[in-house]
Structure 1
């Protein structure tokens, strides 16, 4: 019994930003792009792919996650004769995103969410990648309007942190490659044990029949089959725990962003029970006396 290989898609590296790109009035710095490329680690904090930067915790929502950014790299590019640093991303999309881009031709622009000072490190980090239909020019105008008129809150509720910024969307040509991923070591072990159990319990060999096993051999076969089943159940539970952790982590990041916003508001607001210092009236020189 050979282990079957699961198939999934992975994109080629594509450019998501260039130094000097404008956002909400801020300019994307070269050092930000290099820091993001150097420090990005999906196991530390994985940037997920969101439609219009809207995050939903419901798996059946139109605004659920559509994949993950697996790697970043920074490379020098030449634009209109000028050399600049560009940031390139590789993603693993869900089947829905592959269909959305390749078949429906929707959401062909990407926009990144940058935390300029991620988790107290003082360095920039990619916290999310949005897919949108908004062209770069219109996106830049909307971002600039949002920055000048914060009372309208066009994008603030979509950010993980109030100080984060969205880049204007860039049109990309996403090319997905089908990659074969070998099954886990546990899956291979299950297949091996199942094969042994099949033989010991009297099952046929792949090419020729085998005599039925009796006595101790049959008992060993049953025991191995039970071990195989138990290990398979444990792997399923572990996989589910990983999914739950990722969903809870997404929710935690949203709560953390709300907490940071509230804390910032409290830090700049006077306490309600704090007495106000009476205004100084100056000295009354006519009544002042000096004890010499």
Structure 2
């Protein structure tokens, strides 16, 4: 199974290794702007970027996502922090399991490309926070030439002081191969005997039968659901028909009441011979 790292903190607003300060706005800009399709920040060792795949300074993963969140409690309460989600290589997982490379340091470009805003262009893992912490902060700030300049992608980039990192990994299940690919792989090998070939055919038939059974079960469930839905529709139609019949009956009764022919006789008043004046 592949490994996926849980979200962890990679930087906090504050000091860098060359006397500058990581601005709060940089962290929020990096979180908002980061997109692997634009530029993928890779994970390196000690900010040294090797060129060969077998070098100790090869890449150890990629950064997938960034989030900026203000710290709610503790000594850093109120400060803005940047959190990363990464895809590590097996080598990085193995190193952290041996308590190696437990700190991270960001490489920040304060004005990335033509955006004029900050962007994370790299993430380093390191053993000793002092190597990118207080001692080198003091040395770099007073030095005529930054000793880490050769490790930067751009002279204007800066490295953050190393943060202690809690790298926690979780297993990601590998995707299930398709039936076609399994059978194709099964017949890819060259068998030397009829028994071996027959065995492969037998396995392929078994896989097809199993997949057919699974598919048949899914179809049965869908049919059951459709049948249940049809029954509900039929019940509603019957209820509607009954309501329509009741409404028609009520309408007929009201129509009959409105057509009554018996009326109250006209009143003639006190004089029987006088003309009829009222019928009320």
Counterpart residue number, 1:99: 94
Q: Could you tell me which of 82, 85, 91 is aligned with 2:80?
A: 85
Structure 1 unpaired stretches of 5+: 1-6, 211-292
Shift in alpha-carbon separation, 1:146–1:189, aligned structure 2, 3 A: farther
Q: Give the structure 2 partner of residue 162 of structure 1.
A: 155
1:173 Cα deviation after fit: 1.5
Which residue number in structure 2 is paired with residue 73 of structure 1?
A: 67
**Alignment partner, residue 214 of structure 1:** none
Partners in 1 of 2:131 and 2:206 — Cα distance?
A: 65
Contact kept in structure 1, 2:65 and 2:86, CA below 8 Å: yes
- Equivalenced residues, count: 197
Which protein is bigger by CA-based radius of gyration? 2
For 1:138 and 1:115, the matched residues in 2 are separated by 17
1:79-111 Cα offsets, whole Å, 9 max, x none, are 4373121100111111111111112x1111100
Contact 2:179/2:208 (CA < 8 Å) preserved in 1?
no
Q: Is the Cα contact below 8 Å between 1:156 and 1:162 reproduced in 2? A: yes
Which residue number in structure 2 is paired with residue 62 of structure 1?
A: 56
Q: After the TM superposition, which of the residue ranges 174-183 and 68-77 deviates more from structure 2? A: 174-183
Query: Is 1:188 aligned to 2:178, yes or no?
Result: yes
* 1:30 aligned residue: 24
Listed as ranges, the gaps of 5+ residues in structure 2 are 189-196, 210-280
Counterpart for residue 6 of structure 2: 12
- Contact 1:24–1:140 under 8 Å retained in 2: no
Provide, for residues 186-242 of structure 1, a one-character-per-residue CA deviation record: whole Å limited to 9, x for no partner.
x638517739999xx9933433999xxxxxxxxxxxxxxxxxxxxxxxxxxxxxxxx
Could you tell me whether the CA contact under 8 Å between 2:103 and 2:125 is conserved in 1?
yes
Report what 1:174 is aligned to. 167
